[in-house]
Chain A
Amino acid sequence: MTTEVITPEEIIKKGKIVFEKTKLMTDCTLSYCPGCGHGVAHRLVMEVVDEMGIGDNTIGVAPVGCSVLAYEFMNIDIQQAAHGRAPAVATGIKRVFPEKYVFTYQGDGDLAAIGTSETIHACNRGENIVIIFINNGIYGMTGGQMAPTTLPGMKSSTSPYGRVVESMGYPLKITEMVATLPGVAYATRQAVHTAKLVTKTKKAIIKAFQNQKDKKGTSIIEIVANCNSGWKMTPVESNKWLDENMLAYFPLGDIKK
């Protein structure tokens, strides 16, 4: 007994699609650097929105930073907020549209430096929104400056000899901070640099949107991601470095569930 001999073309013709780009991602080529984790994070959010059937009922808020152009890639209604103000903008949306789904998509500089106040207070009010927080330890868009999440000793263009914690402070674990607030229903830290972690992150995003549906309060999902350009590494090297260094300081898992 032998197995049918079959070419890739026949597999495509006869087989079924087990993975394809969600229709909630536009056809625009992503503006991110090769290997950047933003693309996967974008896809996961849009897949969840698509699979929950809420695309026509969802409003996103894009930040200032690398993902400022998220609205070109996510095929839903989106508002672009001033730097750090996305949680306040999302509050305004959610208060006038309590039955719609609202999420922010922010980087570490946006959410944990200039927008710290808006983040903490939106969480403290228990705004019924989802916050997607991409932590890559650096300001990518502006060219690799030190972020609130830059690791001790880590080099950036504004900490060229490494982050000196005595004068520059420590990396901010803002997800742990907001997890202490009663308004926060779910706080978790995930990553997207392996297939297994991507699957886990998607489950976390599903849970966050489900929380919003159930009116449970704020859900924040931190995604520790690479910034190979900012870190001055190849994509593959940056994922290895992330695994060995970033995750030591920012351990993965649920902080509050």
Chain B
Amino acid sequence: MEEVKLMKGNEAMAEAAIRAGVDAYFGYPITPQSEVIEYLMHEEPFKRTGMVVLQAESELAAINMVYGAAACGKKAMTSSSSPGISLKLEGISYMAGAELPCLIANVMRGGPGLGTIQPGQSDYFQAVKGGGHGDYNLIVLAPSTVQEMADFVDLGFDLAFKYRNPVMILSDGAIGQMMEKVILPEQKERLSNEEIIKHYGNWATTGKPESRESNIITSLDLKPELQEIHNQHLQNKFKTAEKNEVRYEQIQCEDADYILVAYGTSARISQKVVQLGREKGLKIGLLRPITLWPFPKKIISELADHAKGFLSVEMSAGQMVEDVLLAVEGKVPVAHFGRMGGMIASPSEVLDAVEKEINKI
């Protein structure tokens, strides 16, 4: 049954994974997301639901364990933070190529390199533009509350299996570490092999009976004509996802003549900025993308027909702002406000930036 708890974002995600009937979690410690595997090891879901939890020797090994389990048709996930995600990209590219569903959480910290352990949003490009080699996309979900850290696990797996593609929860150190009230979902049963075949088709490596051809999981095709056909098939899936899976939240955009665009922790701050701005008589609103890929281009374009300008607020040097620019299609000015290296913007400094940009128009 549902349960209300006060939890860290990382813990809520871990508990939600157990309750979503996830079959396996493979991870490697890295700040600020180590609570995920710590919580799972403490909860011992292998006793509760039979869920596998294993600490791998590296992020590389962890993502490849996910590959192995996912290719068996199982719900497999991993989580990490920025430097660890860089290591996982090889496996993520292979999984996109081999059409394997899985969930990867990136609790972002500041970069580049070892960077810092404080929150960041500078892995946006890596998450939404592919990251690994080859033409592929991840479906990227951006939680801005502890509740969404929990909710996006089940949603993530639904999307991953629907499109047979990796899904990423792109969170950050603040959401991962903060404690909030969270309503935990009811326990879902883990699926049996027969149910997996019934729900998702008979493509996984489960052991070949004589009654069917062998199931092969690979991203390789040495014949370029066939590899292009495979790529076309992937692109068609991505086009369908772009059509059907865009998610966003509008906060006071209806009458707004200036729009902030922000996700995750920056969206929380921007929500406060909207409140402060409204108190000062500024008609500003917030568009919060929930899916960073597919990006909510259409609504931004529509808002650009009425608003006088946009400000992309990010904990980065300006990454999502490029997608906002593309979506606005040059109709109105688009600016960026960012803090870097683990620094979180204060609402007042963002409001200053908003007022400055409005005055320029």
Contact between chain A and chain B defined by CB under 8 Å:
yes
Interface size class of B (residues with CB under 8 A): 35 or more
Of A56, A91, A96, chain B has the most CB atoms within 10 Å of the CB of A96
A57 to B206, CA, bound (A): 7
Q: Answer whether residue A100 sits at the interface, using C-beta atoms and an 8 A cutoff.
A: yes
A117 to B62, CA, bound (A): 12
What residues of chain A lie closer than 8 Å to B54, measured between beta carbons? 91, 95
What residues of chain A lie closer than 8 Å to B205, measured between beta carbons? 59, 77-79, 93
B61 touches A85 (CB 8 A): yes
B214 touches A59 (CB 8 A): no
Least Cβ–Cβ distance between B360 and chain A, in angstroms: 49
Q: Answer whether residue A71 sits at the interface, using C-beta atoms and an 8 A cutoff.
A: yes
B52 touches A88 (CB 8 A): no
A97 to B65, CA, bound (A): 12
B214 touches A76 (CB 8 A): yes
Q: A55-B208, A88-B64, A89-B68 are in contact. Are A80 and B217 (CB under 8 A)?
A: yes
What residues of chain B lie closer than 8 Å to A121, measured between beta carbons? 56-57, 61
Q: A85-B91, A118-B57 are in contact. Are A77 and B207 (CB under 8 A)?
A: yes
A80 touches B219 (CB 8 A): yes
What residues of chain B lie closer than 8 Å to A61, measured between beta carbons? 68
A68 to B218, CA, bound (A): 10
B65 touches A89 (CB 8 A): yes
Annotate B14-37 by CB proximity to A: 1 below 8 A, 0 otherwise: 000000000110100000000000
Say which residue of A62, A77, A93, A96 sits within 8 Å of B215 (CB atoms).
A77
Say which residue of A69, A75, A89, A117 sits within 8 Å of B208 (CB atoms).
A75
Interface residues of B in 177-200 (CB under 8 A from A): none
Q: A59-B72, A79-B205 are in contact. Are A92 and B214 (CB under 8 A)?
A: no
B208 touches A96 (CB 8 A): no
A92 touches B218 (CB 8 A): no
Q: Answer whether residue B161 sits at the interface, using C-beta atoms and an 8 A cutoff.
A: no
Closest to B26 in A: A92
Annotate A49-85 by CB proximity to B: 1 below 8 A, 0 otherwise: 0000001111101100000110100111111111001
Q: A71-B216, A77-B206, A117-B61 are in contact. Are A82 and B94 (CB under 8 A)?
A: yes
What residues of chain A lie closer than 8 Å to B71, measured between beta carbons? 79, 89, 92-93
B24 touches A79 (CB 8 A): no
What residues of chain A lie closer than 8 Å to B217, measured between beta carbons? 78-80
Q: Answer whether residue B209 sits at the interface, using C-beta atoms and an 8 A cutoff.
A: yes
Of B54, B216, B219, chain A has the most CB atoms within 10 Å of the CB of B216
Q: Answer whether residue B60 sits at the interface, using C-beta atoms and an 8 A cutoff.
A: yes
What residues of chain B lie closer than 8 Å to A93, measured between beta carbons? 68-69, 71-72, 205
Least Cβ–Cβ distance between B214 and chain A, in angstroms: 5
Q: Answer whether residue A90 sits at the interface, using C-beta atoms and an 8 A cutoff.
A: yes
A90 touches B68 (CB 8 A): yes
A57 to B90, CA, bound (A): 29
A57 touches B76 (CB 8 A): no
B68 touches A79 (CB 8 A): yes
Least Cβ–Cβ distance between B215 and chain A, in angstroms: 5
A79 to B90, CA, bound (A): 16
A92 touches B69 (CB 8 A): yes
A95 touches B94 (CB 8 A): no
Closest to A74 in B: B214
A105 to B170, CA, bound (A): 35
A88 touches B208 (CB 8 A): no
Report 19 cross-chain contacts, Cβ distance below 8 Å, ordered by A residue: A71-B218, A75-B208, A76-B208, A77-B214, A78-B205, A79-B71, A81-B67, A85-B60, A85-B64, A85-B67, A88-B64, A91-B56, A91-B68, A92-B24, A92-B26, A92-B69, A93-B72, A121-B57, A121-B61
Query: Which residues in B have some Cβ–Cβ distance to A below 8 Å?
Result: 23-24, 26, 52, 54, 56-58, 60-62, 64-72, 74, 76, 90-91, 94, 98, 205-210, 214-220, 222
Starting from the known contacts A56-B207, A69-B222, A89-B67, 16 additional A-B residue pairs (CB-CB under 8 Å) come to A56-B208, A59-B205, A74-B214, A75-B208, A80-B219, A82-B64, A88-B64, A88-B68, A89-B64, A89-B68, A91-B61, A91-B65, A92-B24, A92-B66, A93-B68, A121-B57
